[in-house]
Amino acid sequence: ILASTDVNAFATPGGTIFITRGLLQKLNNESELAGVLAHEMVHVLRKHHLAALQKGARLGIASDLLGEALKDKNNPVLEKAIKAGTEVYARGLDKDDEFEADRMGIVIATRAGYDPFGLPAVLQMLEASNAQDSSLALMFKTHPAPRDRLSLLDRIMGSHFDAYTAPTQTDKRFNSEVSRHL
């Protein structure tokens, strides 16, 4: 849990998942938290960040080679890789990676016994939030619009999750644990 009022969650290529205090305080139950964490797990499992870093590094290496040929300038490749990594986190992942993480994250959370509508509930909360709120700036910069994500999920949720019934919500346990850590 990051001690930040920003509303966001993200994973590192190595598998560490961070959630900000600001987002955690806005969640209502474990199913919403499970949906967010499963979304981030998919980024790790599908190596979205690594692929973006490699793509950026390839572009950086090509740029370096061209720069060397034109200027004979000695720029370390590592510096380009670091810049590419920083840019990935500042810019966010590809929209298709985010949509894939939403779809697969719902499946993971559901298979773990959580309400499949936990992540969509978080997206609805984000959609209803003021986009000018500075605590949401990075999240809105690095993710597709919540309405686009909800629209995509709406097309698949009804047909695939009709058989699931919402498990008993564990709001009391969730609220107790969250308040203990915040």
Q: Give me the active site residues, please.
A: 40, 102
Q: How many angstroms separate the most distant Cα atoms in the chain? A: 65
C-beta separation of 108 from 115 below 8 A: no
Tokens linked to 58: 């390839």
3-state SS, residue 14: coil
Tokens linked to 15: 């598998």
C-beta separation of 60 from 84 below 8 A: yes
Question: How many CA within 13 A on the CB side of residue 156?
Answer: 14
Residue written as token pair 């205090």: 21
- For 67-113, the three-class secondary structure string (H helix, E strand, C coil) is HHHHHCCCCCHHHHHHHHHHHHHHHCCCHHHHHHHHHHHHHHHHHCC
